[in-house]
């Protein structure tokens, strides 16, 4: 029987394994050095904040794996021998594979800052990082202040985690406004306000110069490059992005760049070796997507796709319309299609924006300047239906259509206030149009299921 | 590391309370203390003033505490430290409260004289005597253990309901639901029945909480109760007709349109207590598949049990027989049900074990009315929790905070809607989801139940191919 070996028990590796099991009776082994069982990396913060126990982050009960005849192996792979189709482990053991799927995920970036390896400096990616943080920053007696370097999604999560232990946080953000390389200024400004509302010491346009050690090799303070200011602290969180976790792959015959290079079928240059999830890098970008996509959903979709290929139904990875979501402290964010920030958008992408006068709620709708085609939407504080937007993007509807039918896409809990009227009014004023909002229609909403 | 502990061994960070939190807590505790001392026959005069005073202290204390706890932070989900606290993580305080509650229920059901009920014409003492004046006010007779219980129960829902509303102040579903659940306890279950009781003192007792229908109210069809209603004049006949109409017509229709939530988390007293006083314990329900198996078996067994008991009782009532198939209807049917299910299960285990097993043990494993509505909800209803395409990140907040122990994530991460008999529609899974994945809604039946192979977001051909 063919032996499928998967390195990495994250969302991509596990999704691949589950779908291979559904479609075949191949022998499957999942390897990870991090944990015995699959857990949701995105939920690490909730364990630290006391919302959940670690076991709650595991989507499947422990009996699931043996019941589905999926072998789990705990250990670090150190070498891949593609010529003998075998793997060596740190403990000296060896296993053979017939097909190999690399799903090794990411690791936090470190940009060679002086002091980046001191005791008290950490990233927030692996379970081990959580354990370190529990030791370094259990409360505000042991950690008097923490500095977070890098204003992205993981940075703000780390800030929220530390706040839950009442630890003062200084947040160094390279950009002139939070995440404004990705989201438009309106949204970025709103998040800035919200960060301050949570009493985080937000430092925009600030880079880390160096981390200073005390006499015992522990973090004592950091210095900001722009101002030279020294900020005393006990913990430094490095959250300036992630990059593929592929050190051990580089010594093999498998071709790599920043990530493991794959074609559209997720195949590497070596026969019977595939790469999926955060660690994979497309040789050719798909649409407007980046060649490395370090998000949960794409990992899952690549897992779904590669499983088909392995089970004899060779398929290219063809993700549908882009979507994503996040939460900035108390503000939920969803996006469908493409909305670029002012820094990155092309000239023919026009934005319509609305922000609630007092609440932290706003939206941006991107559309094409000439043909008015709807390009994408960012929504903060309003939940929207994925299926509706997916259909509208496929149908290439125009912006007026989206506004008219916006209520169909609302996904907020029942009894929530609706803002479609206000939004459309603003659009009408901005654009001198006379769009009228339609009533919600179950028929329209569910015609996609027909 | 112990697999049951979080990464933190014990509470790593005690949050110091601020002045107004302390004030609120002290006020509330003084109120509780007055009642506790009364139970041990330590009274201050005038008793009735102290009764009213303790009620006001508890309500004020809870409000002051909740305001200062929740209003000082921006609105949002407030679950920090839930798994560190001794109260909410089965710590010493949790167990202690569980034991006290259990003890209280045991005394209430079987030894009310220890709570101060005057037996054989003796006047009340202890906890019960302090409510005599209030009882006189409503119905011109001294209090008994059930009047005291009803008063304290309503007080718990009201005061902790206020706390819940501060906690979820950003969520209009939770606000409206909680207002309704408080009002239906206050009026339908407490004030209106007590006032009607007072207006009809010359007539025999029958249950006057109109929403507390059979089979939750298991004695509805008992001969004594049927006779009381028949001899209860227009009001009695009204309750008899309404009681039958409620479970036979009203309940299936509303459950078809809105799911069983209209009852379980909007008007029911047991549900009301679980949603308010039980809120700090909702995450303690078991999410294991084995618990689900037990649930399906147990709740339908209880439903079957009450149907058999009631059939036997009605047979006895209409034929005048005390026996059926040679078995005593009272000793072999009514009495065991009342003891095992009515008292042990719904009271002692259902509420006493809140801090250990979670707040909905009775609703999930026992309640026959929930079982009945669950069948409707599962097979013929417009209610579902819609999953938002491919947005789930499998974080597990929804499953953790589902008081009914539903593994919501198992559905959400497959893009499947949640259509489960046991869902009481509390809406907390939707509230705690950080990615906006879950929406409780009543929509067309078509497409309500959907199972998917490949999630939204992937290659359209692949999705279509495999989801056929
Ligand atoms: C704190 C945090 C929050 C996030 N939140 C979101 C979010 O909200 N939404 C979103 O879309 N994405 C989010 N992400 C990103 C998302 O978690 C990742 O994209 C996703 O987990 C990647 O999955 P993967 O399966 O590719 O890899 P991983 O989940 O990284 O799994 C790879 C596994 O392989 C193991 N491994 C690596 N090398 C070896 C080796 N040599 N031998 C043995 N085992 C090895 C690793 O230890 C790891 O366990 C978040 C990430 C973090 C860290
Ligand atoms: S599934 Fe959601 S709405 Fe239903 S009982 Fe559980 S938490 Fe409440
Ligand atoms: S809380 Fe939301 S994102 Fe998390 S597992 Fe549940 S549905 Fe998915």
Residue B9 predicted with pLDDT over 90: no
Nearest CA to ligand 1 atom 49: A34
pLDDT tens string B52-103 = 999 999 999 999 999 999 999 999 999 999 999 999 999 999 999 999 999 9
Per CB-CB distance under 8 Å, the chain B contacts of A47 are: 6-7
Domain count for chain A: 3
**Do A164 and A215 have their domain in common?**
yes
**What pLDDT does B16 receive?**
80
Residue B287 predicted with pLDDT over 80: yes
pLDDT tens string B94-143 = 999 999 999 999 999 999 999 999 998 899 999 999 999 999 999 999 99
**CA B437 to centroid of ligand 2, rounded, Å:** 13
Domain coverage including residue B159: 15-73+111-200
For all residues of chain A together, what is the average pLDDT? 97
Q: Cβ B436–A325 below 8 Å, yes or no?
A: yes
Which residue in B83, B396, B410 is closest to A50 by CB distance?
A: B83
Q: Cβ A297–B440 below 8 Å, yes or no?
A: no
**What pLDDT does A449 receive?**
46
Residue A26 predicted with pLDDT over 70: yes
In a domain, A25, yes or no: yes
**Do A163 and A220 have their domain in common?**
yes
Q: Which of A206, A223, A240 is the last residue of a domain?
A: A240
In a domain, A94, yes or no: yes
- CATH at A126: 3.50.50.60
State whether residue A437 sits within 8 Å of chain B by CB: no
Q: Which of A264, A289, A310 is the last residue of a domain?
A: A310
**What pLDDT does B3 receive?**
38
Q: Cβ A449–B443 below 8 Å, yes or no?
A: no
- Alpha carbon distance A76, A31 (integer Å): 8
In a domain, B7, yes or no: no
pLDDT tens string A408-427 = 999 999 999 999 999 999 99
**Do A133 and A230 have their domain in common?**
yes
Q: Which of A240, A259, A293 is the last residue of a domain?
A: A240
Domain count for chain B: 1
Q: What SS3 string covers chain B?
A: CCCCCCCCCCCCCCCCCCHHHHHHHHHHHHHHHHHHHHHCCCCCCCHHHHHHHHHHHHHHHHHHHHHHHHCCCCCCCCCCCCCCCCCCCCCHHHHHHHHHHHHHHHHHHHCHHHHCCCCCCCCCCHHHHCCHHHHHHHHCCCCCHHHHHHHHHHHHHHHHHHHHHHHCCCCHHHHHHHHHHHHHHHHHHHHHHHHHHHHCCCCCCCCCCCCCCCCCCCCCCCHHHHHHHHCCHHHHHHHHHHHHHHHHHHHHHHHHHHCCHHHHCCCCHHHHHHHHCCHHHHHHCCCCHHHHHHHHHHHHHHHHHHHHHHHHHHHHHHHCCCEECCEEHHHHHHHHHHHHHHHHHHHHHHHHCHHHHCCCHHHHHHCHHHHHHHHHHHHCCCEEEEECCCCCCCCCHHHHHCCCCCCHHHHHCCCCCECCCCCCCCCHHHHHCCCCCEEEEECCCCCCCCCCCCCECECHHHHHHHHC
Q: Which of A63, A295, A413 to mutate to test the interface with B (most CBs of B within 10 A)?
A: A413
Counting ligands in written order, the one closest to the CA of B407 is 2
**What pLDDT does A450 receive?**
41
Residue B452 predicted with pLDDT over 90: no
**What pLDDT does B5 receive?**
40
**Do A216 and A252 have their domain in common?**
no
Counting ligands in written order, the one closest to the CA of B411 is 3
Mean pLDDT of A94-104: 98
State whether residue A317 sits within 8 Å of chain B by CB: yes
In a domain, B58, yes or no: yes
**What pLDDT does B228 receive?**
96
Does B435 contact ligand 3 (Cβ within 6 A)? yes
Domain coverage including residue A132: 121-240
For all residues of chain B together, what is the average pLDDT? 94
**Do A137 and A235 have their domain in common?**
yes
State whether residue A297 sits within 8 Å of chain B by CB: yes
In a domain, A434, yes or no: yes
In a domain, B398, yes or no: no
Residue of chain A whose Cα is closest to the Cα of B79: A51
Residue of chain B whose Cα is closest to the Cα of A37: B3
Residue B463 predicted with pLDDT over 90: no
Could you give the ipTM of this predicted complex? Answer: 0.97
pLDDT confidence tier of residue B461, bands split at 50, 70 and 90: confident
B8 versus B183: which is more confidently predicted? B183
Q: Cβ A449–B446 below 8 Å, yes or no?
A: yes
pLDDT confidence tier of residue B6, bands split at 50, 70 and 90: very low
**What pLDDT does B10 receive?**
56
Q: How many angstroms away from the CA of A209 is the closest CA of chain B? A: 31
**Do A184 and A248 have their domain in common?**
no
Nearest CA to ligand 3 atom 4: B395
**What pLDDT does B202 receive?**
87
Residue B14 predicted with pLDDT over 80: no
Ligand 2 atom having least distance to the Cα of B440: 3
In a domain, A98, yes or no: yes
**What pLDDT does B340 receive?**
94
**Which residues sit with their C-beta closer than 6 Å to ligand 1?**
A 7-13, 31-34, 41-42, 44, 76-77, 103-106, 124-126, 154, 157, 245, 248, 277-278, 294-297, 299, 326; B 393
pLDDT confidence tier of residue B262, bands split at 50, 70 and 90: very high
Ligand 1 atom having least distance to the Cα of A324: 11
């Amino acid at each position: 029987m063919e032996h499928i070996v998967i390195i990495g028990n994250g969302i991509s590796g596990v999704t691949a394994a589950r779908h291979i099991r559904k479609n075949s009776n191949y022998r499957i082994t999942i390897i990870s050095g991090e944990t015995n069982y699959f857990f949701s990396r995105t939920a690490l913060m909730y364990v630290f904040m006391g919302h959940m126990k670690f076991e709650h982050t595991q989507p499947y009960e422990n009996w699931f794996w043996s019941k589905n005849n999926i072998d789990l192996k705990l250990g670090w792979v150190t070498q891949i021998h593609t010529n003998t189709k075998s793997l060596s482990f740190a403990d000296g053991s060896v296993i053979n594979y017939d097909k190999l799927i690399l799903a090794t995920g990411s690791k936090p970036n470190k940009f060679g800052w002086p002091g980046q390896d001191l005791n008290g400096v950490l990233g927030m990616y692996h379970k081990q990082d959580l354990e370190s943080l529990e030791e370094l920053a259990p409360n505000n007696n042991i950690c008097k202040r923490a500095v977070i370097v890098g204003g992205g999604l993981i940075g703000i999560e780390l800030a929220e985690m530390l706040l839950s232990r009442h630890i003062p946080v200084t947040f160094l953000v390279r950009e002139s406004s939070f995440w404004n390389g990705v989201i438009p200024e309106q949204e970025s400004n709103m998040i800035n306000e919200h960060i301050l509302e949570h009493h985080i010491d937000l430092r925009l346009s600030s880079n880390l110069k160096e981390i200073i050690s005390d006499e015992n090799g522990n973090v004592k303070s950091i210095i900001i490059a722009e101002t030279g200011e020294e900020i005393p602290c006990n913990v430094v969180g490095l959250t300036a992005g992630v990059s593929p976790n592929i050190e051990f792959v580089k010594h093999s015959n498998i071709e790599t760049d920043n990530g493991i290079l794959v074609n559209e079928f997720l195949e590497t240059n070596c026969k019977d070796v595939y790469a999926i999830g955060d660690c994979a890098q497309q040789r050719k970008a798909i649409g407007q997507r980046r060649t490395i996509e370090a998000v949960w959903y794409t990992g899952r979709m690549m897992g779904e796709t590669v499983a088909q290929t392995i089970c004899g139904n060779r398929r290219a990875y063809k993700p549908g319309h882009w979507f994503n979501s996040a939460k900035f402290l108390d503000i939920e964010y969803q996006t469908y299609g493409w909305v670029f920030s002012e820094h990155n958008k092309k000239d023919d992408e026009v934005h319509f924006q609305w922000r609630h006068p007092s609440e932290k709620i706003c939206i941006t709708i991107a559309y094409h300047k000439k043909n008015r085609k709807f390009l994408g939407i960012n929504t903060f504080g309003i939940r929207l239906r994925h299926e509706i937007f997916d259909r509208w993007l496929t149908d290439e509807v125009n912006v007026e259509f989206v506004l008219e039918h916006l209520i169909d896409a609302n996904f907020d809990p029942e009894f929530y206030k609706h803002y479609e009227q206000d939004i459309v009014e603003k659009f009408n004023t901005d654009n001198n149009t006379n769009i009228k909002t339609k009533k919600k229609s179950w028929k329209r909403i569910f015609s996609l299921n027909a | 590391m112990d697999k049951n502990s979080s990464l933190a061994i014990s509470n790593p960070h005690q949050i110091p309370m601020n002045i107004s939190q302390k004030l609120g807590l002290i006020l509330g505790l003084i109120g509780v203390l007055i009642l506790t001392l009364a139970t041990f026959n330590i009274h201050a005069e005038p008793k009735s003033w102290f009764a009213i005073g303790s009620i006001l202290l508890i309500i004020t204390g809870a409000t002051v505490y909740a305001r200062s706890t929740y209003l000082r932070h921006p609105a949002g989900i407030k679950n920090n430290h839930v798994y560190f606290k001794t109260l909410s993580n089965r710590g010493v305080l949790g167990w202690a409260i569980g034991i006290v509650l259990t003890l209280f229920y045991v005394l209430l059901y079987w030894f009310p004289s220890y709570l101060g009920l005057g037996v054989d014409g003796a006047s009340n003492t202890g906890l019960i005597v302090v409510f005599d004046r209030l009882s006189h006010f409503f119905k011109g007779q001294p209090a008994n253990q059930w009047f005291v219980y009803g008063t304290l129960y309503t007080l718990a829902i009201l005061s902790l309901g206020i706390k819940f509303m501060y906690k979820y102040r950003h969520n209009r579903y939770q606000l409206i639901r909680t207002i309704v659940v408080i009002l239906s306890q206050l009026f339908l279950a407490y004030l209106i029945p007590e006032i009607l009781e007072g207006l009809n003192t010359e007539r025999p007792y029958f249950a006057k909480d109109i929403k507390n229908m059979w089979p939750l109210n298991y004695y509805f069809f008992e001969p004594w109760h049927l006779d009381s209603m028949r001899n209860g004049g227009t009001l009695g006949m009204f309750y008899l007709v309404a009681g039958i109409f409620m479970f036979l017509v009203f309940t299936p229709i509303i459950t078809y349109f809105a799911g069983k939530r209209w009852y379980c988390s909007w008007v029911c007293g047991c549900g009301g207590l679980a949603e308010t006083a039980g809120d700090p314990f909702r995450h303690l329900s078991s999410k294991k598949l084995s618990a689900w198996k037990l649930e399906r078996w147990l709740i339908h067994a209880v439903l079957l049990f009450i149907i058999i008991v009631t059939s036997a009782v009605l047979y006895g009532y209409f034929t005048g027989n005390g026996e059926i198939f040679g078995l005593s209807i009272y000793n072999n049917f009514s009495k065991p049900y009342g003891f095992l299910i009515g008292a042990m299960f719904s009271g002692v285990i259902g509420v006493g074990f809140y801090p250990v097993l979670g707040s909905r043990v009775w609703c999930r494993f026992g309640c026959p009315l929930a079982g009945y509505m669950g069948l409707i909800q599962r097979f013929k209803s417009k209610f579902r929790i819609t999953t938002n395409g491919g947005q789930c990140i499998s974080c597990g907040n929804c499953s953790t905070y589902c008081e009914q122990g539903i593994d919501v994530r198992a559905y959400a991460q497959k893009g499947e809607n949640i259509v489960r008999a046991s869902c009481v529609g509390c809406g907390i899974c939707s509230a705690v989801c950080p990615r906006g994945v879950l929406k409780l809604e009543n929509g067309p039946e078509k497409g309500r139940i959907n199972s998917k192979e490949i999630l939204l977001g992937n290659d359209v051909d692949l999705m279509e191919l495999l989801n056929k």
